[in-house]
Amino acid sequence: MSEVRAIPGQYQLVPTRLQEQEANGTTRCNLCLWRCKIGHGQRGFCQAHVNRHGTLYNLSYGIISAIEVGRIEDKPVRCFRPGTKVMSIGSYGCNFRCRGCHNLEISWGLNALDELARGASTAAYVTPEELVATAQRHGAEGIAFTYSEPAVWLEYVIDASIAARNAGLYTVYVSNSFVTDEALEMMAPHIDVLCSDIKSMDAAFYSDICRAADIKDVLASIAKAKTLGIHVETRTNIIPGKNDDPETLRKIAVWIRDHLGADSPWHITKFFPAYELSDIPPTPSEIMWVAHDQARGTGLTKVFVYDDKGCDCAQQNLPVATYLSQDPSAIHQVKVCAGSCCGPDGILLKKYEPGTTKASG
């Protein structure tokens, strides 16, 4: 049976789904493995959860940074409802700071999240029901939560997934799998497909490129998703000089075979220069096919090479308003939280309170 929860009709902070009070007056967020401890007027690492007087709230509930409608194969997902169209959406706030990220503005969204925290955002707010109607209007049979880490706005991802499932749509979660077991368990009943990155088998790669994550935690989370009954596919974006060592790639294939099954799909995508890794050239085709052949040699049967495709980027997407049915000027009105905790100005952070000069959060 579906959960019954009050869905805000307009932009409003929503309590963080997994939070616990700490003895020292801070509150801990348990959505992802950062498990941030956050004091009043401050935000967690992703910048999307804020503490107001001891309670954590998600700043980005219903806030959509990007929309695209395309083939499910482009997520990439190859072995679930092939040939169907899926509507991809994302919001501001990611729990990684990958040095080669293509989605800085729509995933990290530092300026956008700051505007939300100042009560000055003009980003689109879309209720779960409107989201589902939008997907159906565009002929999509599913909704994919992607472009940033879905666990960071799990409050909305779950509500939107419930609405999608009730309408007969499937749901896809494109993730870095740096999420807690609690978040995964909460999400599992509502998600059909997990498409997760395995960026490397090397702990040094994760600390160099993604800083926070430990590969053991990421792999444990992916394996757990399978035990929870989610259809799992994995993806590795090969970055020259970083994770292109053939032995590393072979180890990824062996891990997939042993923990997800020999018929579990593995997608090998091409790196394109971006952000702090702009000086690294695109991945040569040869190494992608070496990885493919090695993986087939380990017994993996579904190995897909994308010689022209990188990560799930949204750089060329149409503006969000073009997909929605409302007038763009209504969609982009200034958003001030409709709740009571922020005061009339919608100011959420200590650093923006009148008379405060010291930056915090």
Binding positions for ligand SF4, rule: CB under 6 A? 29, 31-32, 34-36, 44-46, 48-49, 94-98, 101, 103, 107, 148-149, 152, 176, 311
Min dist. Cβ of residue 155 to ligand SF4 (A): 10
| Residue (95 or 127) nearer to ligand SF4, CB | 95
| Residue (121 or 175) nearer to ligand SF4, CB | 175
Min dist. Cβ of residue 110 to ligand SF4 (A): 12
Min dist. Cβ of residue 136 to ligand SF4 (A): 27
Task: Judge contact between 12 and 342, C-beta under 8 A.
Answer: no
CA 333 to chain centroid, in Å, comes to 25
Min dist. Cβ of residue 96 to ligand SF4 (A): 4
Across 256-268, b (16+ Cβ under 10 Å) vs e yields bbebbeeebbbbb
CA trace torsion 146, 149, 153, 154 (10° rounding): 90
DSSP state at residue 335: B
| Residue (149 or 192) nearer to ligand SF4, CB | 149
| C-beta atoms surrounding 338 within 10 Å | 13
Angle, vertex CA 106, rays to CA 128 and CA 34, nearest 5: 85
Strand order in the sheet with 14-15: 14-15, 55-58, 49-52
Size (the chain), residues: 361
| Residue (109 or 169) nearer to ligand SF4, CB | 109
Min dist. Cβ of residue 168 to ligand SF4 (A): 29
Min dist. Cβ of residue 293 to ligand SF4 (A): 27
> Angle between the 285-298 and 246-259 helix axes, to the nearest 10 degrees?
40
| Residue (61 or 169) nearer to ligand SF4, CB | 61
Q: Which residue, judged by CB position, is nearest to ligand SF4 in the bound state?
A: 44
- For residues 313 and 317, give the distance between their C-alpha atoms in angstroms, rounded to a whole number: 9
| Residue (154 or 249) nearer to ligand SF4, CB | 154
Task: Judge contact between 115 and 149, C-beta under 8 A.
Answer: no
| Residue (68 or 130) nearer to ligand SF4, CB | 68
Strand partners, 232: 194
φ/ψ region of 41 (left if φ > 0, alpha if ψ in -120 to 50, else beta) reads left
Min dist. Cβ of residue 66 to ligand SF4 (A): 11
